[in-house]
């Protein structure tokens, strides 16, 4: 309705006005500019470290998608990211600002590991199913706690989930760092659990020794999220809650109940990411291998436009970046930490693009 900027240039003024109707090509242009700007800033960062920028980018993308082997590694890395991205989307679409994906990943890994210990003698199919289910339940549990804290006690969900992230990590570091799950071998104490039994390992796809069925789970979860959000009454309520919880509550929907369901789904999917990492990739529980999936998932969800398909694409992209980063580190001598920095930059530029897409530049004649 009003102008953000008013820069009089003589008789001609440039005004920035809010758009009435979203324009697809303008929106695309904004996001393209955001991507280029983000890449540009990243290039600047690489350049200031003294490395060869062009070589850095080439090795980065080569290591990500340059060969079949690279693709497989990227998709494997993408799996937990897609899942945490989906978890973010389910919550954020309802305007529930859960930052708990990180903790739910850990919680899922822990729940699954517990099942792995408890149900060790069962036939493989049931064993694996229970492990996966336990992981999802553990993740969902953490989410439900945050939802209850919000609906019953009015505790801001950002703060409660951030705090619980720390608490869960402390719990895990105790369990595997001196506690009952610690691996001890010939008087050396490691900060990790013992290796999971072979029967608990998630089967690999296509005979690769890297890409496991959790990737399929991630895709299924994406379809699930899409269908629920767009095609079911629950999805209607989630989306409505994200836009206008007041009107939704006035017309008969129990917001508290909906929030609990949202956080349960979000937590379960994030927990699945933890299962994927432990039982598909690293095969033992450590704090550092699980670190960061949750936070990156937030970025992926946002960059993916809070759409399940977007999360899949962004997840694969980011999985590629993280795979390529190792290659880049080796060949172009750029610290792998450029990737989280780049992810953060892209998030901010995309956020700005999202706002800019809603405005347009207009030239206005003023007669003075």
- Structural contact between residues 284 and 195, judged by C-beta atoms closer than 8 angstroms: yes
The single residue among 77, 327, 343, 357 that binds another protein, judged by CB under 8 A, is 343
- Structural contact between residues 101 and 94, judged by C-beta atoms closer than 8 angstroms: no
Q: Could you tell me which stretch among 105-113, 186-194, 233-241, 276-284 binds another protein (CB under 8 A)?
A: 233-241
Return the closest-CA partner of residue 283 out of 116, 129, 137, 133: 116
- Residue 327's H or E segment, with its range, is helix 308-332
Residue 247 makes contact with another protein by CB under 8 A: yes
Q: From residue 191 to residue 230, what is the string marking binding to another protein with x (rule CB under 8 A)?
A: ------------------------------------x---
Q: Restricting to residues 57-96, name those near another protein by CB under 8 A.
A: none
50 Ramachandran zone, left/alpha/beta (phi>0; psi -120 to 50): left
Nearer to another protein, 277 or 343 (CB): 343
The single residue among 54, 124, 159, 309 that binds another protein, judged by CB under 8 A, is 159
Q: Could you tell me which stretch among 15-23, 63-71, 270-278, 281-289 binds another protein (CB under 8 A)?
A: 15-23
The single residue among 163, 255, 326, 331 that binds another protein, judged by CB under 8 A, is 163
Q: Which pair of tokens denotes residue 64?
A: 């990500």
Smallest distance from the beta carbon of 177 to another protein, in angstroms? 8
Nearer to another protein, 103 or 111 (CB): 103
Query: Cα(first)–Cα(last) distance of the chain, in Å?
Result: 22
207 Ramachandran zone, left/alpha/beta (phi>0; psi -120 to 50): left
Smallest distance from the beta carbon of 237 to another protein, in angstroms? 7
- 66 CB-contact burial (10 Å; exposed 0-12 / middle 13-18 / buried 19+): middle
Q: Could you tell me which stretch among 27-35, 193-201, 218-226, 329-337 binds another protein (CB under 8 A)?
A: 329-337
Smallest distance from the beta carbon of 41 to another protein, in angstroms? 10
Q: Restricting to residues 296-315, name those near another protein by CB under 8 A.
A: 298-299, 302
Q: What is the C-alpha separation between 17 and 358, in angstroms, rounded? A: 9
- Structural contact between residues 218 and 83, judged by C-beta atoms closer than 8 angstroms: yes
Length of the chain counted residue by residue: 368
Q: Restricting to residues 99-118, name those near another protein by CB under 8 A.
A: 99
The single residue among 44, 167, 220, 330 that binds another protein, judged by CB under 8 A, is 167
Q: Can you tell me whether residue 183 is helix, strand or coil? A: strand
The single residue among 67, 129, 156, 195 that binds another protein, judged by CB under 8 A, is 156
Q: Restricting to residues 115-134, name those near another protein by CB under 8 A.
A: none
Beta-bridge mates of residue 359: 18
The single residue among 28, 40, 69, 170 that binds another protein, judged by CB under 8 A, is 170
Q: What is the C-alpha separation between 220 and 307, in angstroms, rounded? A: 14
Residue 160 makes contact with another protein by CB under 8 A: yes
Smallest distance from the beta carbon of 69 to another protein, in angstroms? 26
Residue 257 makes contact with another protein by CB under 8 A: no
Nearer to another protein, 133 or 249 (CB): 249
Residue 18 makes contact with another protein by CB under 8 A: yes
Return the closest-CA partner of residue 224 out of 129, 87, 122: 87
Smallest distance from the beta carbon of 48 to another protein, in angstroms? 8
* Strands 6-9 and 12-18, sheet pairing: antiparallel
The single residue among 2, 9, 25, 185 that binds another protein, judged by CB under 8 A, is 2
- Structural contact between residues 30 and 19, judged by C-beta atoms closer than 8 angstroms: no
């Amino acid at each position: 309705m009003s102008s953000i900027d008013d820069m009089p240039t003589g008789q001609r003024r440039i005004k920035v006005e809010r758009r009435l109707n979203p324009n697809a090509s303008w929106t695309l242009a904004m996001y393209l500019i955001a991507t280029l700007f983000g890449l540009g800033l990243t290039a600047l960062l690489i350049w200031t470290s003294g490395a060869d920028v062009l070589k850095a980018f080439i090795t980065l993308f080569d290591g990500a998608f340059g060969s079949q082997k690279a693709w497989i590694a990227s998709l494997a890395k993408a799996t937990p990211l897609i899942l945490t991205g989906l978890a973010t989307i389910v919550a954020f679409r309802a305007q529930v600002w859960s930052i708990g994906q990180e903790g739910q990943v850990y919680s899922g890994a822990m729940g699954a590991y517990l099942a792995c210990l408890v149900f060790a003698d069962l036939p493989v199919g049931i064993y694996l199913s229970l492990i996966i289910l336990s992981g999802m339940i553990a993740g969902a549990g953490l989410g439900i706690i945050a939802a209850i804290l919000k609906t019953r006690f009015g505790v801001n969900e950002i703060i409660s989930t951030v705090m619980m992230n720390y608490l869960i990590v402390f719990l895990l570091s105790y369990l595997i760092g001196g506690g009952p799950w610690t691996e001890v071998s010939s008087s050396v104490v490691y900060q990790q659990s013992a290796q999971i039994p072979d029967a608990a390992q998630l089967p690999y796809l296509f005979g690769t020794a890297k890409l496991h069925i959790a990737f399929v789970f991630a895709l299924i979860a994406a379809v699930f999220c899409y269908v629920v959000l767009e095609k079911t009454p629950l999805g209607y309520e989630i989306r409505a809650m994200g836009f206008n919880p007041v009107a939704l509550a006035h017309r008969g929907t129990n917001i508290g109940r909906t929030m609990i369901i949202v956080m349960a789904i979000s937590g379960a999917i994030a927990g699945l990411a933890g299962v994927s990492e432990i039982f598909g990739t690293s095969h033992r529980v450590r704090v550092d291998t699980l670190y960061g999936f949750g936070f990156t998932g937030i970025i992926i969800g946002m960059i993916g436009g809070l759409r399940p398909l977007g999360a899949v694409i962004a997840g694969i992209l980011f999985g590629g970046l993280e795979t390529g980063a190792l290659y880049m580190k080796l060949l172009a001598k750029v610290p792998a930490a450029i990737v989280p920095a780049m992810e953060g930059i892209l998030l901010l530029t995309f956020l700005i693009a999202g706002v800019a897409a809603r405005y347009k530049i207009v030239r206005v004649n003023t007669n003075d």
